[in-house]
Chain A
Amino acid sequence: MEKSRILVVDDEKNVRTMVKKVFEGEFDVDTASNAEEALDLLKKNKYDLVFLDLDMPVVNGIELLERMKKGENPIPVIMMTTYGSVEEAVKAMKLGAKDIITKPFTQEEVTKVVEEILKEKEDEESNIQDMEKRIKEALTVGDIKRARNMVLELFRLKPSSPIPHFLYSLVNEKEGKLEEAIKHLNASLSLDPSYEPAKRKLGQIQRSSKSSNERKERNQS
């Protein structure tokens, strides 16, 4: 199984070293000493979790969090703050930080926070897989209305995931709305260009639509 990947962003080397020491081995851990380095790494790699220092010079943790949240796939972020920075911490939570940990923290504290977040993520993924299965079953038995309602619920839960768009394309396909289906498959791929089910389905629809057009042309001639 592929290891989860963590990014630690802090201008203090000792903090980066500490968090890296706690998690390396179990996870792949990268570190960045400023926002620029962090954004560069975030472009290159896919992370499961980011530790972000609130009080970095030049571009602080809040600004970096704002920039990260503009990205297509939000990553769970744990803000690292110092004692007394309550207002900033509240702002970070409003911006979607998953948790806040006050420096100095122990290895046990930081491990517990990470375990909780990864568990939550795992539960969420398993819940999505379960919904995906139920949607496909509803489509198989022709219960389009139920399938559509479940997809809409999934949109609400995971708006930035490619999965709801993909599943909605299946509903559209079942209803014969191929143009709509293609639109949703493209939306799915714009959220995650590497999402294989959407790629395959788009190829399949395009091929079948092409052969259907060719048949029509032959019949007309």
Chain B
Amino acid sequence: MKEKTLYVVIAGCGAVGGRIAGHLSSMGHSVVVIDRDEKAFNNLPWEYSGFKIRGDVAEIENLKMAKLKNADAFLALTDDDNTNFMVTQVAKKIYNVPMVLARVNDPSNLKLFEEAGVLVVSPVILTVQFILSFFLGEDAERKRKV
């Protein structure tokens, strides 16, 4: 049986958003990426087969245009935490999107997002954890030799 494909809306088409959009579309999901900067779409891989909306994600019209109400997942991946927080709240509370995830650039904002029921990913925390993994744990020594 054909697996159900997801409808994913991504805010922000930077290095992260562009790559995620590319991977998800090549996995067969329906993807829409929103960014106010046309040049940001250059971050999408050549084979990207989703939609692009040029506009400010903070404007509700652009979220309507992306049919956020139909989305299975919404990813707020801009480099601005305020924007990410605001749009994730719109996605959760107005459009009832089942899965809402945000990139949280400043780790001091993590608590705020988590308390608002948003899944979070922090590039700072991930980097710290990755580097520390070379020094902590049972296989730290083996990792350092690679």
Contact = CB atoms under 8 A, between A and B. Distances in A.
Interface of A: 12, 14-15, 17-18, 21, 82-84, 102-108
A21 B47 CA distance: 11
A8 to B, nearest CB: 12
B51 A103 contact: yes
The 4 residue pairs across chains A and B that have the minimum distance between CB atoms:
A104-B51, A17-B49, A18-B49, A106-B30
A218 B36 CA distance: 87
B66 interface: yes
Interface of B: 5, 7, 25, 28, 30, 32, 44, 47-53, 64-67, 70
A45 to B, nearest CB: 23
Contact of A14 (B52, B64, B66, B67): B52
A108 B30 CA distance: 9
Contact of A104 (B44, B47, B67): B67
Nearest to B7: A106
B65 A83 contact: yes
A102 B64 CA distance: 12
Contacts of A104: 30, 32, 50-51, 53, 66-67
* Residue with the greatest number of chain B CB neighbours at <10 A, chosen from A17, A82, A104, A107: A104
Contacts of A106: 5, 7, 30, 70
A107 B48 CA distance: 14
A84 to B, nearest CB: 7
Contacts of B65: 82-84
Contacts of A108: 5
A14 B7 contact: no
A174 B49 CA distance: 58
A14 B50 contact: yes
A142 B64 CA distance: 63
A15 B5 contact: no
A14 B48 contact: yes
A123 B16 CA distance: 48
B65 to A, nearest CB: 4
A165 B25 CA distance: 49
B51 A107 contact: no
23 contacts: A14-B44, A14-B48, A14-B49, A14-B51, A17-B47, A17-B48, A18-B25, A18-B50, A18-B51, A21-B28, A82-B65, A83-B64, A83-B65, A84-B65, A102-B67, A103-B51, A104-B50, A106-B5, A106-B70, A107-B5, A107-B28, A107-B30, A108-B5
A84 B55 CA distance: 14
Nearest to A102: B67
Contacts of B53: 104
A160 B49 CA distance: 36
Nearest to B52: A14
B30 A105 contact: yes
Contacts of A105: 30
Nearest to A12: B52
A18 B52 CA distance: 12
Contacts of A84: 65
Contacts of B48: 14, 17
Nearest to B66: A104
A107 to B, nearest CB: 5
Contacts of A15: 51
